[in-house]
Structure 1
Amino acid sequence: MTRTSIIHLLLKIIAAVILLQTLYFKFTAAPESVYIFETLGLEPVGRIGIGVLELVTAILLLVPRTTGLGALLGMGILGGAIFSHLTQLGIEVQNDGGTLFILAAITFIICCFLAWHHRFEIPILKNLLGK
């Protein structure tokens, strides 16, 4: 295994783990998660729906044939999370020191890298880019 492929695998695992670790809070209706989605006016459907999408995203990221698609989906979900933090929630939510925002930003950046790396494997981008 080359250094590049090890880094690529580590980035996929980091993004998937960050996405998966938040599921416990979403699916158990942890007070922090409920607070966030109530603030956004999306409780409980949005909390559960986003949780399901994050689970699908993590799985897609880890499957080699679907990494690019998972990365695109992750960019959308995390872009929404970052936007929500910047417009409604604030960087710091319930004295978390900005942890949720930082994790969203890190995962978004990883997903951007993975989407770019796999851009010719994603059917819609493949057609647009002519490859």
Structure 2
Amino acid sequence: MDFLKKHIEWIPVILIAIIFGGSFPFKFMDAPITVHIFNVVGDWIGLDFFKSIGGYLIGVAEAIAILLVFIPRTRGLGGLLAVGIMSGAIIFHLFSPLGVTVRWEEGGQMMEDGTLFYTAVLVWFSGLFLFLRNKDQVLGLIGMGGDSSEA
């Protein structure tokens, strides 16, 4: 039981790394689904620059979150960053024209993917778990109390 309690954090760490890492190439290779997502979101929020660089910005933020969750001392901060990124994704899936099931055109064919929303929710809960489990470290890292000396 002590082994499980000590190493339980690796489950959400690996989930975040797999999901963020798996989407990473799509954000930097202008994959049709990524272009569609950021065009829809950019139009909806009225920020044209988000259509062209949103994927890159989110991709970099996700890469930083991956690095942070792998370092025990910054794991809670990485979890908090993952929650922030995925809060945006969840909001856009639920309230923008993007929808829970994303539909886009690729090579003249209509495509759809209903997994993106659910993986965002999974990452959100994984990040929240890591943050709550390490909130004292996060508060210590940002100078607001807590104990940042534990690793």
Mark yes or no: TM-score above 0.5: yes
Task: Answer yes or no: is 1:22 the counterpart of 2:23.
Answer: yes
**Separation in 2 of the partners of 1:5 and 1:101?**
30
Deviation digits for residues 47-79 of structure 1, max 9, x if unmatched? Answer: 101100000011101111110111111111000
Shift of 1:91: 0.4
Alignment of 1:1-131 (within 5 A): 2-41=3-42, 42-88=50-96, 89-94=98-103, 95-96=112-113, 98-123=114-139, 127=144
Shift of 1:107: 0.4
Shift of 1:5: 2.6
Instruction: Please list every run of 5 or more consecutive structure 2 residues that lacks an aligned counterpart in the other structure.
Output: 43-49, 104-111
* Dislocated runs of 4+, deviation >6 Å: none
Q: Is the 8 A contact 1:17 1:58 kept in 2?
A: no
In the superposition, the TM-score normalised over structure 2's length comes to 0.79
In the superposition, the TM-score normalised over structure 1's length comes to 0.91
Shift of 1:126: 7.0
Q: Which residue of 1 is the match for residue 45 of structure 2?
A: none
Residue 8 of structure 2: SS of its match in structure 1?
Answer: helix
Q: How many pairs were matched up? A: 129
Residue 102 of structure 2: SS of its match in structure 1?
Answer: coil
Shift of 1:123: 2.7
Q: Which has the higher strand share?
A: 2
Q: Is the 8 A contact 1:85 1:91 kept in 2?
A: yes
Shift of 1:90: 0.6
Residue 91 of structure 1: SS of its match in structure 2?
Answer: coil
CA RMSD of aligned residues (A): 1.7
Letter in 2 for 1:55: A
**Separation in 1 of the partners of 2:34 and 2:70?**
25
Letter in 1 for 2:26: F
Shift of 1:14: 1.1
Q: Which has the higher helix share?
A: 1
- Structure whose alpha-carbon radius of gyration is higher: 2
Residue 9 of structure 2: SS of its match in structure 1?
Answer: helix
Percent of aligned pairs with the same residue?
36
